Chain A
Amino acid sequence: MDPSVEDDRIYESGNTDFSNFVAVGNSLTAGFMDGALYRSGQMSAFPNIMAGQFEFVGGGEFNQPLMNDDLGGLLFNGQKIAQNRLVLAVDEQGNPAPAELAGNPTTEVTNTLSGSFNNVGVPGARSFELTLNGYGNAANLPTAANPYFVRFASSPDASVIEDAVAQNPSFFSLWIGNNDVLGYATNGGAGEDQTGNTDPSTYGPDDITDPNVFAQVYSGLVNSLNESASGGVLFNIPDVTSIPFFQVVPVQAVPLNEQTAAQLNAQFNLYNTQILGGLAQAGIISQNEVQQRQISFSEGDNFVTIRDENLTDLTTILQGPPFNLDPQTAQTLGQLRQANSSDLIPLTAASFIGTTVNDDPTLINGVTVPLGDQYVLTSEEQNKVQMATNAYNETIAGIAQQNELAFVDVNAILTQVNEGGIPYNGGTLTSEFVIGDSFSLDGIHLTPKGNALISNRAIEAINAQYGSTIPVVEIGDYKGITPSNNVAQ
């Protein structure tokens, strides 16, 4: 065959060296998907796909710290500390839904791996955690260490970036920063926005990282990797609110018939008129807040009720005169409002909304009992995520340009996936849960097809930056969702 893909060097490496590719990042780099890290997912990690194509231009082996099995899940001293992967199971009514794959995980965190690994992706890592010494020390678990890094850190004191740099990468990828906002978002903004606090050692696990901390850490990471590398590719942070995790559960998640709606309205009638009216007259809450707090149901799908920490907390006032409510009711009404179309409900609420408290049929979560802060990402909270994401992305784009590195605008790519989709040979990748094929069953991480898309966009960016002609992969050859009814009962 002339020219032959197999025998002839028909692809160009351009002005960079792909012989030793090291990928640095978080779960997205590691190949985490379906809520777990497992072998076949790792094989579909975007850096592993890229490394396969780099072989056409002198790329070497790409070693990954493979898990022990295809279940996912982790053991720490024999105790299960991470769940198995999710699969799409079909129940007796024929409804497909994600469920945890059955089986006992066999990957023991303390069975540490030897050797160095080209894939230095650590699920859950935030930007500043890549520079933390002791992040791979089992003694520091669970708060100051990461079980995935414990498995393959070169020594207990090593940091992620040290282990990456020690390999003298000739080319690198860096995709970090997602978890600097993601934990806050997926927990409904229950954490803190630490913008302005430049000491990350004081951050909780679900906080937003200060953009200046991010910028400083990020430029340090790139400088370290650039010491030996002839080139690299940087990825920015997608808008977390565009992922299925926030799109599957509708804010109008409470279906009611006419009779139940009338009953509920009767229950809340006194609250809507007397209590809120009285508080407004007393000047405790504004008219605007009175409007926000109105609870009203009708036949059909209704907005869930939520606890909004931005509302004035009335819990104590309602227990005093003239209301004299019992503490439980006062607590329920304290920051109660019904959700509206600008709120987002995380996927984790799907199995919670509609359940009852203490088997009491009148205490229904999301209806008569408001959803807690962790089950709602309000528009104020969304703004905080957005602000931080924008700031991180400005940093990433700026550093890519300064260092003449290839740059992948993941934010734009996933926005396109979300708004109409991206076609490939034989299909279209959309963000629709399960059938869109882009996002895995955790609603956050990409499927193998999604990883192939990112890999192709990275290759295109690299080709444009370095004058290389690396071929892209056929997205249709990669998997979407895995169906299985082998689920834990």
Chain B
Amino acid sequence: MAAQGQRALAMGHAGVAVVNSAELAFFNPAGLSHLEGQLNVSVGFTGVLSQTKWQNQETGQFSETDSGLGTPFHAYISYKINETFTAGLAVYTPYGSSVEWEKDWAGSHLVNDINLESIFVQPLISIRLSDEVSIGGGPIFVTGNVNFNRNADRSLTDLEGNRSNVTIDDSGVTNWGWSASMLITPGEKFKAGINYRSEIILSSENGDATFSNFTNSPLTPANTVMGFQAELPLPAELTIGASYEFNDKWLFAFDYNRIFWNVYESLDIDFEDPSVPNSINPRNYKSASTYRFGLQYKALENLTLRTGYYLDESPVRDGFFAPETPRNDANGFTGGISYQVNDKIAIDASFLYVRFEEVDTSYDPYTVNGQEAPFEGTYNSNAFLPGIGLTYNL
């Protein structure tokens, strides 16, 4: 769930063609050169309170995730060098996932808990080519962490009945990517933007895989720590959008997002010890679109209200619904407020409520001795994301 700027989030996370703060460093770096003032800063963070429930009515099994608290954050700064060039720096966390099911739940052979974090650090340049056209972009440095635990299979235990399980853990996995964008401003009221962020593949090569609660037998892996290799793709993303200012008070924004999830074909974990079978987990994602709508109303000189909605298509295909990323098509409802404390500082608050459509689905590719053993059930998820930030302008 995206939460990369409090002002944009309040407007359905639409912002590729909205010029009002340094949040543009994420949404459309080309627009940074349109900001007023020499120095613009936006910082903020969001609390992610999410919950997923699963049940199988045939067996009566049910489980729910421990909501925990994810905290995506962002910090953007831009500095106007001259009328043409603006430099910037963005630090943000566009892909993160934290799901913790009840230990040894019915789907524990697929996941007990997972925590993925990635931090993007991006120096930026924005160039105002003409009154109507500006471009921007820059290289992205990514550093990521992963921690993933699941049981060895559906039933294996040690002699006391404790479930055999494997944890993979790695931190400081790095790679590079880039983004490029353009903003077109044919008139005072209408703006159009396009932003592209490249695919970045995180290859984990130095992490540890910890095997626990296996019995002492050559027929099962030993309780040990070994290396592993795995690749996690962070997909490319394209956003096209526009905004229109009806008058001094009202602004409407629309973004179309396409995330190229089709790169995520399989999560394969290659254990160092060749006698331990590799873990092959087909994902077979499809690219998916999100439609974002936002509305801004300047109620008072120092008070701005925002609201928005988005429709998010799930990249998960039926039959590939893995409980580590229990996401179905979702409706996001957003709102927010900005209060201008003085001519330099504003406080931005936002919230997002996401309601995922309840879905009866399954993960089919899990196999036992070559035979498929689908994991079926009904999933119901929702999330509430309150956020707060500061905007500074000099």
Contact = CB atoms under 8 A, between A and B. Distances in A.
A478 B155 contact: yes
Interface string A451-476: 00000000000000000000111101
26 contacts: A1-B358, A1-B380, A2-B358, A4-B53, A4-B55, A5-B57, A5-B62, A39-B161, A40-B159, A43-B161, A101-B159, A425-B373, A426-B154, A426-B366, A426-B367, A427-B373, A473-B59, A474-B106, A474-B154, A476-B155, A476-B368, A482-B215, A484-B217, A485-B216, A485-B218, A486-B159
B130 interface: no
Nearest to A437: B155
For the residues of A in contact with B, the DSSP-based class is: loop
A11 B154 contact: no
Interface in A50-79: 53, 56, 70
Given A425-B373, A427-B369, A476-B373, A90 B155 contact: no
B290 interface: no
Contacts of B374: 425
Contacts of B59: 471-474
A178 B378 CA distance: 42
A6 interface: yes
Nearest to A91: B218
Interface of B: 53, 55-62, 106, 154-157, 159-161, 215-220, 358, 366-369, 371-374, 378, 380
Interface in A140-159: none
Contacts of A479: 155-157
A89 B369 CA distance: 21
A426 B216 contact: no
A452 to B, nearest CB: 10
For the residues of B in contact with A, the DSSP-based class is: loop
Interface in A414-449: 425-427, 448-449
A35 to B, nearest CB: 15
A471 B58 contact: yes
B106 A426 contact: no
| Residue among A10, A11, A483 with max Cβ neighbours from chain B (10 Å) | A483
B154 A477 contact: yes
A286 to B, nearest CB: 52
A480 interface: yes
Interface string A73-95: 00000000000000111100010
A200 interface: no
| Residue among B53, B218, B368, B374 with max Cβ neighbours from chain A (10 Å) | B218
Contacts, number: 100
A472 B378 CA distance: 17
Given A473-B59, A474-B59, A474-B106, A426 B161 contact: no
A482 B155 CA distance: 10
A4 B379 CA distance: 11
Contacts of B380: 1
Given A1-B380, A5-B57, A10-B57, A96 B161 contact: no
B55 A70 contact: no
B160 A5 contact: no
Contacts of B58: 471-472
A90 B220 CA distance: 11
A476 B58 CA distance: 14
The 9 tightest CB contacts between A and B, nearest first, are A426-B373, A40-B161, A483-B217, A471-B60, A483-B219, A426-B368, A484-B215, A5-B55, A479-B155
A473 B58 CA distance: 8
A6 B216 contact: no
A56 B55 CA distance: 13
A94 B219 CA distance: 10
B73 to A, nearest CB: 32
Contacts of B371: 426-427
Contacts of B220: 483
Contacts of A474: 56, 59, 61, 106, 154
A10 to B, nearest CB: 7
Contacts of A4: 53, 55, 62
Contacts of B157: 40, 479, 482
Contacts of B358: 1-2
A392 B374 CA distance: 40
B27 to A, nearest CB: 35
A363 to B, nearest CB: 36
Given A70-B161, A96-B219, A6 B55 contact: yes
B57 A477 contact: no
A301 to B, nearest CB: 27
Given A70-B160, A90-B218, 20 more contacts: A1-B358, A1-B378, A2-B358, A5-B55, A5-B61, A6-B53, A70-B159, A70-B161, A101-B159, A427-B371, A471-B57, A471-B60, A474-B56, A476-B154, A478-B155, A479-B155, A482-B157, A484-B217, A486-B215, A486-B216
Given A70-B159, A485-B218, A53 B60 contact: yes
A52 B358 CA distance: 27
B53 A1 contact: yes
A426 B215 contact: no
Nearest to A449: B155
